[in-house]
């Protein structure tokens, strides 16, 4: 018979900090780094269940995780990493693991973003409404470990070299940068003052949690790791988070949080003075060029359009990103959604 188990923050802490794992809890269900991040979320409590898993004959066949965020002084729960063993599809295990946590926290306080089709359907079962936002990818992610990937990378490089012969020179903008270790009070005041169109504003505590407790880490020899999750792995060849202020002389004009994954650059959060947006956009352009990024990803359309004109990318694409909210919450029709909202900072 299938067995459902819920794991609390306290149990995750006992596992990752003291090596005392509750029965069934292992890195086959949640990567230790992700567990470590969740237990340091600023809004968790020790008795909060944050992982749900189903076992069949002692083998894990489905799991999901969740973490809280403070919205309008109330805790809301974002769901992340729903997985079900393909051999056990069709048994409703995804619905059960998500439903077990929804029952604890209440459907009206549960949210989901960037879910697979099955996940969107599960939340619809709980009465959630879904909408979709656009994510813009310039360039393409290439797996250079395969012969085909190496060939594609060579062709892309040749295309760029040919394009450089005819492209106009880049206009240099005057700005300075500060790479900061945390979102301090002044930076957060700037974020608040320039977040008028945002559907939701993350707290200073959540932004610093995202910055200081990432879900992924650099593992140069990841192929040598013998125990890893089937999906939602924490290990990658290279990853790094950057928290960046943009200045015009003594005036703060922009802030963004960007994440590098190998040769892909993601802009997770972006705030700027509208009158100075060209300088802020130019600073991102200059990062892409200096870091030699093959792909750039953003959910900010004006930035995507700017970079299309400034940098040659052989390929462009637009992805539809789901956003499921409870009945009592309005869908983000007019307000913009930041890329990093929900669990998308794990990209």
Q: What CATH number belongs to 135-141+172-346?
A: 3.40.630.30
The reply to whether domains 3-127 and 135-141+172-346 share a CATH topology is yes
Strand ranges, E, within the chain: 3-8, 49-56, 59-71, 74-84, 110-113, 129-139, 176-179, 217-218, 235-236, 239-248, 251-261, 264-272, 295-298, 316-325
Report the 10 Å Cβ neighbour count for 321: 18
Nearest to 97 by CA among 129, 126, 65: 65
Residue 113, exposed/middle/buried by CB under 10 A (0-12, 13-18, 19+)?
buried
pLDDT, one tens digit for every residue, the chain (347 residues) = 899 999 999 999 999 999 999 999 999 999 999 999 999 999 999 999 999 999 999 999 999 999 999 998 999 999 999 999 999 999 999 999 999 999 999 999 999 999 999 999 999 999 999 999 999 999 977 666 777 766 766 666 666 665 554 566 677 999 999 999 999 999 999 999 999 888 889 999 999 999 999 999 999 998 888 766 667 788 888 999 999 999 999 999 999 999 999 999 999 999 999 999 999 999 999 999 999 999 999 999 999 999 999 998 988 999 999 999 998 888 766 668 999 999 999 98
Beta strands in 97-214 (DSSP E): 110-113, 129-139, 176-179
CB 53 within 8 A of CB 24: yes
Residue with tokens 């890893």: 228
Q: List C-alpha distances in Å: 108 to 26, 111, 248.
A: 30, 8, 43
Topology classification of domain 3-127? Aminopeptidase (3.40.630)
Q: Residue for token digits 């029709």?
A: 333
Q: Which long-range contacts (CB under 8 A, 24 or more apart) does 32-36 make?
A: 32/234, 33/214, 33/215, 33/216, 33/217, 33/234, 34/65, 34/81, 34/215, 34/232, 34/234, 36/213
User: What CA–CA distance (Å, rounded) separates 66 from 78?
Assistant: 5
pLDDT of residue 196: 85
Locate the domains of the chain by residue range. 3-127, 135-141+172-346
Query: What percent of the residues of the chain are helix, what percent strand, and what percent coil, each to the nearest 5?
Result: 35, 30, 35
Q: Partners of 59 in the beta sheet?
A: 56
CB of 54 closer than 8 Å to CB of 89: no
Q: Residue 3 pairs with which residues in a beta bridge?
A: 55
Q: Which CA distances in Å does 89 have to 85, 95, 188, 306, 343?
A: 7, 11, 44, 43, 24
């Amino acid at each position: 018979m299938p067995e459902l188990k819920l794991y609390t923050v306290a149990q995750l802490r006992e596992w990752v900090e003291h090596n005392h794992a509750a029965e069934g809890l292992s890195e086959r269900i949640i990567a230790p780094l992700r567990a470590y991040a969740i237990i340091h979320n600023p809004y968790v409590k020790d008795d909060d269940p944050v992982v749900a898993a189903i076992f069949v004959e002692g083998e894990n066949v489905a799991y999901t995780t969740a973490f809280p965020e403070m919205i309008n002084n109330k805790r809301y729960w974002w769901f992340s990493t729903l997985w079900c063993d393909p051999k056990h599809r069709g048994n409703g295990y995804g619905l059960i693991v998500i439903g077990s946590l929804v029952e604890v926290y209440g459907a009206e306080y549960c949210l989901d973003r960037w879910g697979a089709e099955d996940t969107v359907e599960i939340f619809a079962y709980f009465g959630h409404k879904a909408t979709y936002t656009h994510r813009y990818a310039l360039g393409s992610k290439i797996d250079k470990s395969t012969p085909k990937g190496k060939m594609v990378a060579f062709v892309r490089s040749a295309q760029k070299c040919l394009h450089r012969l005819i492209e106009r020179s880049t206009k240099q903008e005057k700005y300075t940068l500060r790479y900061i270790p945390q979102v301090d009070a002044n930076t957060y005041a700037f974020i608040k003052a320039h977040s008028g169109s945002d559907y939701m504003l993350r707290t200073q505590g959540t932004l610093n949690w995202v910055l200081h407790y990432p879900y992924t880490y650099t593992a140069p020899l990841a192929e040598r790791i013998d125990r890893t999750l089937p999906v939602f792995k924490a290990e990658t060849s290279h990853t790094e988070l950057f928290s960046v202020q943009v200045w015009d002389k003594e005036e703060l004009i922009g802030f963004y949080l960007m994440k590098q994954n190998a040769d892909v650059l993601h802009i997770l959060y972006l705030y700027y003075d509208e009158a100075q947006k060209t300088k802020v956009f130019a600073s991102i352009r200059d990062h892409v060029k200096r870091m030699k990024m093959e792909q750039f990803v953003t959910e900010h359309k004006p930035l995507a359009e700017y970079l299309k004109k400034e940098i040659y990318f052989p390929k462009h694409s637009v992805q539809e990103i789901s956003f499921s909210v409870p009945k009592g919450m309005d869908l983000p029709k007019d307000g913009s959604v930041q890329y990093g909202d929900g669990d998308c900072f794990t990209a």
